[in-house]
Amino acid sequence: MNRKTALAVAVGGGLGTCLRYVLTIISVSDTWLNATLIINIMGCLLLGIVSGWFFIRSEPEWLKVGLSVGLCGGFTTMSAFAAESVRFASYGSHLFLYIMSSLVGGVVAVGIGWFIGTRLGERRRAV
């Protein structure tokens, strides 16, 4: 990995992490529809858009990696998902609904994002 790519991942990761923190503070909730679920689905949508865009468009590798691994990786979080799953299990409430919403919602969001990203990439290329 070259320095430019490493810097793009670091900057993207920092921005994604800060954005996740701000959104978590804004939407604190103990219900199954919590900030982590919303953030992870939003991150999946964004990753789908980025992936679809870069599938169609030929852009610099550092930009692709900075946005996908850095920004989306810093924004979404598996560890928070796992911790909240354990918390819901200990409460005995909404665990299945939370896990299924996260998994299905994430996959659907990536699919929608991929569709959007490829269409935007095609439209941009035609201009």
Annotated binding site for Na(+): 73, 76
What is the identity of the amino acid at 102? S
The CA distances from residue 12 to 8, 59, 66, 72, 105, in Å, are 6, 16, 5, 8, 23
**Cβ atoms of residues 111 and 43 within 8 Å:** no
Residue with tokens 């994002």: 113
As annotated, the binding site includes 73, 76
